[in-house]
Amino acid sequence: MWAKTRSPRLRASTIVSDHGLSLPDVSITESPSISSATRPAVRSSPALSPSRASDFKQCPLLYRFRAVDRIPEKSTKAQVKGTVVHAALEALYGMPTATRSFATAVDLVDPAWDRVVAESPELEELLAPEERASLLDQARELVHGYYEMEDPTRFDPESCEQRVEIELEDGTPLRGFIDRIDVAPNGMVRVVDYKTGKSPREFTEAKALFQMKFYALVIMRMRGIVPAQLKLMYLADKQSLTYTPDEGELQRFERMLSAIWKAILSAGETGDFQPKRTKLCSWCDHQALCPEFGGTPPAYPGWPAVSTR
Ligand code: SF4
C-alpha cells in the first residue's frame, strides 16, 4: 500500500519511513551520472524500461511507434520543465553537502536549462522567450517545493540519475535511470523518484507504482536485497508517496515483466503490434498513423538490431 504524506518543511537529517526505518546521513559512493537532461540517446540492444513496458501494456502499436519505428514526438512544456528540475537537483547533489542552500539550488535552474537545450536544441523553438521565463519560474517554484520536503544539506545520496541495466534469469533485459538511491549505514536502500506534476489520480498512481516496482526489482537483482522503501516526491503539491515492497511481490512482478518481454519479442518477429484504443489515445501523438483513427502505420521496419532506451 502506498502511504501519502504532506512533507514538513526542512526535515531533519534522519529520514524515517512509515515502518520506522531510519536512513540517516549516508555518503556518496560513486559520482552522480549524467542527468536526464543530458542523457545521451544510448544505442544498444532493445530492453524493457518502465516507460516501454507501460507503452506495450497500454497499446502494442504505441510501443512499436516509439521503440521500433522511433517516430519522434514533440516534448511538452511539462516534460521540459521536469527535465530542467531533475537536472538542477542532480547538479545540486553533485555539490558539497554544506553548500546546497536554497539560493544555490535556485541558481542551478538556468544552467540546467542551458544543458537541456544544448542536448536538444529543438526545445529552444518550443518556447517563446516569455514562455521560457515562465517555465523557468515554475521550475524554481518546484525546487522550492523540494526544499519544503527535504533538507539536502543533511544527507548524501549514494547516486543520482543512475543508469541501471540487468538481464533477468530468463534473458529479459531491463534498463532505466533511477533518480536517486539513498543507502543507510546499515545497508538499507531507498529508491527516490521526483515527480514535477501534482500527486496522482488512480491511473497515474498505478503507473508510478509500476515504475517504482521496476526499479525495486532491478535493485533486488543487482544487489541481492529488497529496497526498504520506494518514495515518490511530488514537488508541485509537496506530497510524498512511499511504498514498502516485499520479495514475493517483486518476484511476481518479475514474472509479469518476463511475460511482457516475451509478448514484445513475439510481436517483434511478425510485426503484429495491435492497436488498443482507450481514453489514453487522446494523448497519443500517432493518431494519424493509427488504424483506430483511420490511419495506416508505415511499413514494419523489422525488429531493431539496436535501440534507444
Ligand atoms: S492512438 Fe491509441 S490505439 Fe492508436 S497507437 Fe495511439 S494509443 Fe494506440
> pLDDT digit string (tens) for 134-155?
999 999 999 999 999 999 999 9
Dist. CA 193 → ligand 1 center (Å): 27
Determine if ligand 1 sits within 6 Å of the CB of residue 106: no
The closest residue, in CA terms, to atom 4 on ligand 1 is 290
The closest residue, in CA terms, to atom 5 on ligand 1 is 62
Residue 200: predicted pLDDT: 56
**Model confidence at 46, in pLDDT bands (50, 70, 90)?**
confident
**In the chain, pLDDT over 90 holds for what percent of residues?**
71
**Phi and psi for 120 in degrees, rounded to 5?**
-135, 80
Using an 8 Å Cβ cutoff, are 33 and 87 in contact? no
CA quadruple 122, 125, 127, 128: dihedral, nearest 10: 160
Nearest ligand 1 atom to the CA of 285 is 6
- Higher pLDDT among residues 274 and 207, named by residue: 274
Determine if ligand 1 sits within 6 Å of the CB of residue 286: yes
**Model confidence at 202, in pLDDT bands (50, 70, 90)?**
low
Residue 203: predicted pLDDT: 65
Determine if ligand 1 sits within 6 Å of the CB of residue 277: yes
Q: What would the mean pLDDT of 259-273 be, rounded to a whole number?
A: 97
Dist. CA 293 → ligand 1 center (Å): 8
Least confident of 33-42, 184-193, 257-266: 33-42
pLDDT for residue 208 is more than 90: no
pLDDT for residue 216 is more than 60: yes
Using an 8 Å Cβ cutoff, are 162 and 177 in contact? yes
Determine if ligand 1 sits within 6 Å of the CB of residue 59: yes
The amino acid occupying position 128 is: A
**Model confidence at 44, in pLDDT bands (50, 70, 90)?**
low
- Higher pLDDT among residues 17 and 124, named by residue: 124
pLDDT for residue 4 is more than 80: no
Nearest ligand 1 atom to the CA of 295 is 4
The amino acid occupying position 55 is: D
The amino acid occupying position 13 is: S
Buried b or exposed e, range 149-158, using 16+ CB within 10 angstroms: bbbbbbbbbb
Dist. CA 286 → ligand 1 center (Å): 7
Buried b or exposed e, range 189-226, using 16+ CB within 10 angstroms: bbbbbbbbeebbeeeeeebbbbbbbbbbbbbbbeeeeb
- Higher pLDDT among residues 7 and 221, named by residue: 221
Determine if ligand 1 sits within 6 Å of the CB of residue 274: no
